[in-house]
Structure 1
Amino acid sequence: MPAPLGYEWLKEHCQLSVLPHSVRSYTGGLLGTRANQVKRHEILEQNFPDSARPEETLVGHLLFALKHEGVNPAYLQQVFLQKGVENHIQATIQKRPSSHWSRRLWFWYEYLTETLLPLPDCKAVKYESVLDEERYFTAQPMNVRRYCLRNNLPGHGRFLPLVQKTDALRDASDTRLEQCLHSALADYDEEVFARASRFLTTYETRTSSEIESENITPDKYIRFGRALEMAGQTPLTKERLIEIQNIIKDAHQQEPDYRVEQNYIGGPGPQGVALPPPRPENIEDLMDDWFAMVARLADSNIPASVRAGILSASFVYLHPFMDGNGRISRYLIQDVLAKSGILQPGIILPVSGGILNRQQDYYQTLDRLSRAICAQTDYYIDEAGHITIEGETDHLFRYLDLTHYCQWLCEVINDVAEHLLPKEIDTLVLADRLYRALDQVLDLSAKELRLMVRIILDNKGKLSKRKQKQFEFLTDHDFEQIDQIAAEVLKGTTRK
């Protein structure tokens, strides 16, 4: 029978309250397969020979996990709190103080517990990275003399989401995305470019609201659009997030600070809970740590699309406000892309439009971690529909593996840059041409002309008999002219 190793052994032995690690290791053979590795439900299962089994101790399985399963700060931190483990870690380091893996274990213990072991600094040896840069996205390294290690973590000890370099994510590149955007926008003159910037801002505002199934007034559209136009031009602060959150809220609904009530994502009743976010008393502390992570990421070479994924996803799971968290998360994507210099001034990448086109995938992608968090959370809902979280859960949100979400978002961003962005600008150009051509032969108001243009473009170049009833004052000859003009303007305009 398979016997667990590493993180899975630690989880069972210490009864850890953690989210599943992306790798599980066993000796004794994997059930249902003779392979050394098999992927089940997005978790890589590894089979090792009995000779690879470590000592049946916490430190033995900790070292095995670091060597063969990667880094999981959530597991490490909880194991470090186990009674007596400090002495065993100290003894292991004293036995082999220059060992690469001993130094890593030493670093992680002091880093996550914020407690120094009574040990002298490591003797001078070759510096190694804390995170394997071939496996993870990392930040700018900082030499730590005590362990002769380079701290390249994309966060800090109290908030450290990780993203693995999957085959798909290895292709993520600011240069590649910038070249794609340049190619998409190179054919348009300054006048079209100026019109496109306003159009894309409106489009992003509308689609972001549609994702949340919100209907907002024209005035709120304008205010949120102006906020989007400022993305990348203002520091990301608590005050800025509150400002964005309240932009489309009526005065009596505005939130002056982080939430003070427990909320949840999902439908009514216990079975409808998709995500119970952290308790309100933990939000201020968590968000302070989140902002410290944001600053660390900003000073890194991690591709902007990956950084956008880390910020937007971690923010959604924290859910620091009662409402509007999804909308802010998509603002954060624009903010990261703008600050990276990838986007030309005034241009909004319509990422919400790309998400809306894959809305079911969006929810399923977020739901992967939501279900895992929900499974580790004790809660109940009273008759009035109020949820109460029992016990501490903030540790579930500090060390998320955001690989799957970042990979999905990078796909969306690339698709938007390559296909949706030029398609929407082409549509704008066509609408302008069609408007001007129809205006030369029809005596219609600007409002009526815009309506007609939208109907024709939405209906693949035709003004249907049913839609013609909205313009009953026009003659059959007028409708014939409209069909001819539309056919001429739209001829040969399909972008491949």
Structure 2
Amino acid sequence: MEQGRRKPFSGAVSIFHGRWMPETAIPVGYAALIDAFELPVPVPINLSAIGPRHKVYEAESWNIYTPRHQPGNDLAGHLTFALRYEGLDLAVLKALFRKIGPEPIADMVRAAPTGAYARRLWFLYEWLLGIRLDLPDAAQGTYALVVDPDRQFAVGGASSTRHRVKNNLPGTPAFCPMIFRTPALDAFVARGLGDEARQLIAEVPADLLARTAAFLLLKDSRSSFQIEGEDPPQDRIQRWSQVIGEAGRRPIDRAELERLQRIVIGDARFVHLGLRVEGGFIGEHDRLSGAPIPDHISARHEDLPSLIDGLASFDRSAAQHLDPVLAAAALAFGFVYIHPFEDGNGRLHRYLIHHVLAERGFNPPGLVFPVSSVILDRIDAYRTVLESYSRRLLPLVHWQPTDRGNVAVLNDTADFYRYFDATPHAEFLFECVARTIDVDLPAETAFLRIYDAFKIEVQQMIDMPDRLLDLLFRFLRQNEGRLSKRARDKEFSALSDAEAARIETIYAEIRQSTG
């Protein structure tokens, strides 16, 4: 029996850890390991089991395999199945390695010194735990990829001669979210959204593009505050838009994040600046007792320096080699789960999206995709994505309330924030970026073309200040090209009936010609 083993591997069941299975089946791979070794980790989004029929299918977050896929009912069998069919779940693997100790992995390598799965596990044990196994360097065996690039996104990779593997993990032991390949993500990556955006703006006149960029930048800044339920004064929105416009110019590290927090908070009289010095959570307080009711519990404040160092290392290394949108999703959502500050985390989380896209040259020069405004429009989907991990994480965090209405975390949770499945987050972010290119950018340039043409026509007819021209155009847009009786009686009472009718005709003709 392996060291740390607490109970036998499960037989056929219809419910696994509270999750219904599509039919009675035998959990295998990560599901079997989590159950048998009672691993305190977030259960993966998708699990695997062996069904009674000779049919491979997916249903209800389960991948059901046939009896011929049944692995050996031991540690080596389930680990090999997981690496072969399920990819890497670093949180599960690290928790398992801690539970079983070094000898079972060393025994697997000794039994199959040239085996690719054994050498990958050997590498992962030493990489995740920073502990060298009592094994000589591998002398034979074709170099194996640590990450299967057909199953999960990976980077180029450096060779580890000790294990005869190529380390193509998209991160470091301090921070390494994994993203599974899905049909949606493969299609988005192949589409080349950055190139599409550059082609889209190539025919836009420079002055029109500059005004479009300025509007979208301000729109993104305003939306980022609105997502947090804030309605700050215009000058604060403009200051933050200037910061977003400079995203990507400086690498991300603790000092830079703290600088950005000071800017986003502004008045810090009631906010602690810098990394938290106590617990943190997202949620509500009981109305009577003031006790916390968390929806998400942030990383322990003791772990924040190392976690932020992990983010910074990811920004300097893996983020430079992954697709920019994938890298932005991993970095930004990793940051928001860590929640390192007392306040300002949400806006900095969205800033990090801009940072990666700009740093990688994904944005056309001078243009910011208004991702925050799309998120605001899709706020329910955004919350669902955030909860895709928070709901699985929350039951594993042991905490107690403090006398200040906060939480004190009692167990070691750092790895929960280092390693998570960022697939839903990457799909969501790609959808947001695609909408800015498909809808927002063309709509704003079209709006300005219509406005400019309308303004020229009306000014040739009537001498009217820009302020009233803006108002006139806005009224027509809001009322399907007609001036309301209220507008005619108040702001534009000086217009004759003929002038009003002509203005409505101008608006309609321009809309038709540019539509």
> TM-score, normalised on structure 1?
0.91
The alpha-carbon distance between structure 1 residues 39 and 237, as it changes in their structure 2 partners (threshold 3 A), is same
Q: Does residue 1:260 correspond to 2:280, yes or no?
A: no
2:319 alignment partner AA: A
2:275 alignment partner AA: Y
1:105 alignment partner AA: L
Deviation readout 1:73-121 (Å, 9 max, x if unpaired): 11111111125x4212212211211111110111111111111111111
What is the distance in 1 between the residues matched to 2:151 and 2:376? 31
Residues 155 and 161 of structure 1 are in contact (CA less than 8 Å); yes or no, is this contact kept in structure 2?
yes
The alpha-carbon distance between structure 1 residues 62 and 208, as it changes in their structure 2 partners (threshold 3 A), is same
Which sections of structure 2, spanning at least 5 residues, go unmatched?
1-11, 13-24
Q: Does residue 1:437 correspond to 2:454, yes or no?
A: no
1:378 to partner: Cα distance: 2.5
What is the distance in 2 between the residues matched to 1:24 and 1:180? 36
Q: Which residue among 489, 492, 496 is the counterpart of 2:513? A: 492
The alpha-carbon distance between structure 1 residues 469 and 339, as it changes in their structure 2 partners (threshold 3 A), is farther
What is the distance in 2 between the residues matched to 1:248 and 1:117? 47
The alpha-carbon distance between structure 1 residues 246 and 468, as it changes in their structure 2 partners (threshold 3 A), is farther
Residues 265 and 344 of structure 2 are in contact (CA less than 8 Å); yes or no, is this contact kept in structure 1?
no
The alpha-carbon distance between structure 1 residues 322 and 271, as it changes in their structure 2 partners (threshold 3 A), is closer
Q: Secondary structure at the match of 2:299?
A: coil
Q: Which residue among 236, 243, 262 is the counterpart of 2:259? A: 243
Q: Secondary structure at the match of 1:45?
A: strand
Q: Which residue among 362, 382, 387 is the counterpart of 1:362? A: 382
Q: Does residue 1:141 correspond to 2:174, yes or no?
A: no
Deviation readout 1:281-309 (Å, 9 max, x if unpaired): 22122111121122222331x21111111
Residues 23 and 46 of structure 1 are in contact (CA less than 8 Å); yes or no, is this contact kept in structure 2?
no
Of stretches 409-418 and 263-272 in structure 1, the one that deviates more from structure 2 is 263-272
Q: Which residue among 50, 53, 57 is the counterpart of 1:37? A: 57
Q: Secondary structure at the match of 1:252?
A: coil
Q: Secondary structure at the match of 1:98?
A: coil
1:129 to partner: Cα distance: 0.7
Identity among equivalent positions (%) equals: 29
What is the distance in 2 between the residues matched to 1:342 and 1:289? 23
Cα RMSD, aligned residues only: 2.4
1:410 to partner: Cα distance: 0.8
Residue aligning to 1:294: 315
What is the distance in 2 between the residues matched to 1:105 and 1:173? 29
The alpha-carbon distance between structure 1 residues 469 and 129, as it changes in their structure 2 partners (threshold 3 A), is farther
Matched pairs, number: 486
Q: Which residue among 116, 125, 145 is the counterpart of 2:141? A: 125
What is the distance in 2 between the residues matched to 1:158 and 1:220? 35
Residues 137 and 162 of structure 1 are in contact (CA less than 8 Å); yes or no, is this contact kept in structure 2?
yes
User: Where in structure 2 are the equivalents of 1:243-392 lying within 5 Å?
Assistant: 243-253=259-269, 255-269=272-286, 272-300=293-321, 302-381=322-401, 385-392=405-412
What is the distance in 2 between the residues matched to 1:192 and 1:157? 46
Residue aligning to 1:406: 426
Residue aligning to 1:13: 36
Residues 172 and 306 of structure 1 are in contact (CA less than 8 Å); yes or no, is this contact kept in structure 2?
no
Residues 103 and 147 of structure 1 are in contact (CA less than 8 Å); yes or no, is this contact kept in structure 2?
yes
Residue aligning to 2:20: none
The alpha-carbon distance between structure 1 residues 112 and 452, as it changes in their structure 2 partners (threshold 3 A), is same
What is the distance in 2 between the residues matched to 1:51 and 1:137? 25
Residue aligning to 1:214: 230
Residues 174 and 306 of structure 2 are in contact (CA less than 8 Å); yes or no, is this contact kept in structure 1?
no
